[in-house]
Amino acid sequence: VRLDRQAAEPLAAQLERELRSAVRSGRLRPGTPLPSTRSLARQLDVSRGLVVGAYSQLRAEGYLVFSQGAPPRVAATIAAPVEPAWDAPRPQPRFNLRPELPDFGSFPRDEWLRSYRAALKRAPDRVFGYGDARGSGALRSELAAYLGRARGVAAFADHIVVSGGFAQAIGLVCGVLRGEGRRTLAVEDPGHSAVRRVCERAGLTIVPVPVDDEGLDPELLAATGAEAVLLTPAHQFPTGVVLSAPRRSALVAWAAETGGLLIEDDYDAEYRYDRAPVGALQGLAPEHVFYLGSASKTLAPTLRLGWIVPPPRYVRPLVDEVLETIFAAPHLEQQAFGDFVARGELDRHLRRMRLLYRRRRDALVRALGRELPLAEIRGIAAGLYLVAAFPDGYDEPRLLAAAEARGIAVAGVGEHRLDTRGPAALLLGYGRLHETALRAAAGELREAVAAASA
Ligand SMILES: Cc1ncc(COP(=O)(O)O)c(C=O)c1O
């Protein structure tokens, strides 16, 4: 034990800290007897009271045990910490073409700061509590108007529940479904693998339903007997197709006839480049649809902002689910987001981003036409990525490995498949890279494809 008499830290605190760290690091092993207070005080040339104080603090914390007539000992239950094993962070890729990401560099920092500052200034003190379990009332009002206007969602502010992103929203909805005894959830195949895992975690049995050029097939859904279905109607992840009008009607009819529930993941519908986005399925059948949205594509994933518009009879169970799992989602961020939407900043940002992403998409499509003419480019009408499908004979894992070896981060369709088969296909995100970098990435991809097929 070393004490520094020049240090600002009081000797008693130093002694406690030294002893605690000796136990924690294993230098003082479990069961080891310690010197008596008198003897340690003499060795360290401090008062006995100081040692008594340190020993009794460590006893209160559980590091030391005292027993009658014996020296204090290090508690037998203390285990030396094990160095945690954690993978080293991956090096940043040279070209990040992951399909899910918006352009971080375009985050409207100044506008967000203005809204956050305004929200913080205006917020009554009660905002620092848990607040309404549905989330900030001001944001819910803005969302009801925005979702009605931009996505054709039939929403009342009182019936919206704000969550920590889509991921938390789907977990809450799955909890509600389980709570009322539903056990099976149909998902699109291919469909987002991470989202599927969240639903499995929530205790639902996943039933894959194939997706074709019109989206998920309602007849195949009906044949599964599933009690709910999760789907991405506006822009199917990962194929990029839009759910056709006949299928929308067929799915609503399925829900009405069987009591099945439709869960709509509207994750990136705001980005549609050739015409107005296809409206939400929820608008057709608010009684049967849980509508889920997120700010992760329009602004940034780190905000962890998402929302649920449930069928009206599910508002109460959903609120109970919030109260019994997360208590509440952070209100201050919600107030800021509400201000941001109210000022028209979200609309402005989206207008700016649509132009930017469209230019990036066009640059990537042109570059792929030059560099990889053998790949069929699909799903370019909307979203933040496109699909490059390869002819027979190309192996997707090899393509992915060759891309990674060249510093290109991409995803393949394969990781999102359950039972379906299909051609090797890469999901190429164009959201994060400017046009010059996208052209360079396409050239690099050509080399990767050549290496993978050698
Ligand atoms: C299909 C799909 N749904 C939803 C999300 C959004 O999730 P969150 O709002 O939790 O960031 C993503 C993000 O990658 C996604 O790909």
Q: For residue range 303-354, list pLDDT tens digits in order.
A: 999 999 999 999 999 999 999 999 999 999 999 999 999 999 999 999 999 9
State how beta strands 228-231 and 184-189 pair: parallel
Q: How far is the CA of 222 from the centre of ligand 1 (A)?
A: 26
CB atoms within 10 A of CB 380: 18
Q: How far is the CA of 263 from the centre of ligand 1 (A)?
A: 14
Name which of 36-40, 66-70, 358-362, 377-381 the model is least confident about.
66-70
- pLDDT score of 454: 78
Q: Report which of residues 366 and 70 the model is more confident about.
A: 366
pLDDT band for position 86 (cuts 50, 70, 90): confident
For residue 91, pLDDT beyond 90:
no
Ligand 1: which atom is nearest the Cα of residue 191? 1
Question: Per residue in 277-305, pLDDT tens?
Answer: 889 999 999 999 999 999 999 999 999 99
For residue 85, pLDDT beyond 90:
no
Ligand 1: which atom is nearest the Cα of residue 294? 9
Q: How far is the CA of 400 from the centre of ligand 1 (A)?
A: 22
For residue 80, pLDDT beyond 80:
no
Mean pLDDT of 181-194: 98
Give the whole-angstrom CA distance, residue 262 versus residue 288: 6
Tracing tokens 């090899």 back to the chain, one arrives at 398
Q: How far is the CA of 14 from the centre of ligand 1 (A)?
A: 49
Mutate to test the pocket of ligand 1, among 172, 195, 198 (most ligand atoms within 8 A of CB): 195
Q: How far is the CA of 380 from the centre of ligand 1 (A)?
A: 19
Q: How far is the CA of 267 from the centre of ligand 1 (A)?
A: 6
Ligand 1: which atom is nearest the Cα of residue 168? 10
User: Does a cis peptide bond (omega within 30 degrees of 0) precede residue 317?
Assistant: no
CA-proximal residue: ligand 1, atom 14 (nearest): 100
Amino acid, res. 133: A
For residue 409, pLDDT beyond 90:
yes
CA-proximal residue: ligand 1, atom 4 (nearest): 267
pLDDT band for position 271 (cuts 50, 70, 90): very high
pLDDT band for position 397 (cuts 50, 70, 90): very high
Mutate to test the pocket of ligand 1, among 96, 101, 162, 166 (most ligand atoms within 8 A of CB): 166
Give the whole-angstrom CA distance, residue 291 versus residue 264: 5
Give the dihedral sign, CA 126/132/138/139.
positive
Q: How far is the CA of 167 from the centre of ligand 1 (A)?
A: 7
Euclidean distance between the first and final Cα of the chain, in Å? 65
Mean pLDDT computed over every residue of the chain: 95
Is residue 389 a contact partner of residue 380, using CB atoms and an 8 Å limit? no
For residue 84, pLDDT beyond 90:
no
- pLDDT score of 178: 97
Question: Per residue in 95-122, pLDDT tens?
Answer: 999 998 999 999 999 999 999 999 999 9
- pLDDT score of 34: 96
Ligand 1: which atom is nearest the Cα of residue 192? 1
Tokens of 166: 């889509």
pLDDT band for position 276 (cuts 50, 70, 90): confident
Give the whole-angstrom CA distance, residue 337 versus residue 345: 10
Ligand 1 site, CB within 6 A: 100, 165-167, 192, 195, 232, 237, 265, 267, 294, 296, 301, 306
- pLDDT score of 1: 83
- pLDDT score of 82: 78
